[in-house]
Structure 1
Amino acid sequence: MLGDHTRPEVRLGRSSWLWQRWGMSIDGTRYGHGISVHAKSTVTIDLNRECTSYDALVGVDDMTLGPGTVRFSVYADGARLWRSPVMRGGDAAVPVSVGISGRKTIRLVVEPHRPFDSVAVADWAQSRISCG
């Protein structure tokens, strides 16, 4: 982990590759910021303080060419709080909003729907953790 442990931080040793981006695009709509990951990924975030919600818009990035169907999930302290429908390239972004009060860790997971879908790039656009 990097930082002073007083705010949410990605746990590097327990997370997959991620690309913090500005200007990502899902179904032709551009978003100001977020993270992009491979279709099989886990990003673990230690909250380090009392936080109330996690919000994002998720989808397959427009840079994915060809196949790419994925499913997104949000876990907190090991319990799944939210799961998307199966999403394909060209689908509109789906909003995520989960309460995380009293939680210590959240985990953002993307799973390929079929084995060859692991080449897809998946986006957590407008990704935001709200803390007190």
Structure 2
Amino acid sequence: VSELSYSILGDHSEPEVVMGESSWVWQRSNVSIGGTTYAHGVTVNSNSSVTIQLNRQCTRYEAMVGIDDLTMGIGSARFSVFNGDGTRLWQSPVMNGHDPAMPVSVGISGQESIRLVVEPGHPGNFTALADWANSRISCR
């Protein structure tokens, strides 16, 4: 996901981040969660939604999620993966800064799009940077 094109610039033949339906996304390398560094990922605010148009037959979404170590242990968030119809396919418990990353593995066969959502772990807590590390989509 850290290497996906955006819908405005993409050719619609592979998964793409949908610009008009997505929050701020920082595509980056060397993402760190709970003291462990991951080769790549995307970082978002703790109140975000990123829509990915799949544009082909895809079978699985996988990632490691958690609070980015750049926040120095401050903040908390809950991660969710939704299908294009708004049905929640997966949800994490509330994750806090310094917690180890949690694996995500969600079947997405038959879906046209997925939405990666991060919500503040506690009311008024919007300070955390949240990571979808080693985030990848398996397609045919």
Task: Give TM-score scaled by structure 1 length.
Answer: 0.97
Which 4+ runs in 1 deviate beyond 3 A?
A: none
Q: How far has the Cα of 1:66 moved from its partner?
A: 5.2
CA distance in 2, matches of 1:127, 1:35: 8
What percentage of aligned pairs have identical amino acids? 61
CA distance in 2, matches of 1:76, 1:116: 27
**Counterpart amino acid of residue 82 in structure 1:** W
The match for 2:55 among 44, 48, 58 is 48
Q: Counterparts of 1:102-113 in structure 2 under 5 Å? A: 102-113=110-121
The answer on 1:61 being equivalent to 2:44 is no
Q: How many corresponding residue pairs?
A: 132
User: Is the contact between residue 110 and residue 122 of structure 1 (CA under 8 Å) also seen in structure 2?
Assistant: yes
What value does the CA root-mean-square deviation take over the aligned residues?
Answer: 0.9
Gaps of 5+ in 2: 1-6
User: Is the contact between residue 24 and residue 45 of structure 2 (CA under 8 Å) also seen in structure 1?
Assistant: yes
User: Is the contact between residue 67 and residue 116 of structure 1 (CA under 8 Å) also seen in structure 2?
Assistant: no
Gaps of 5+ in 1: none
The answer on 1:29 being equivalent to 2:36 is yes
Aligned residue for 1:82?
90
Q: How far has the Cα of 1:94 moved from its partner?
A: 0.2
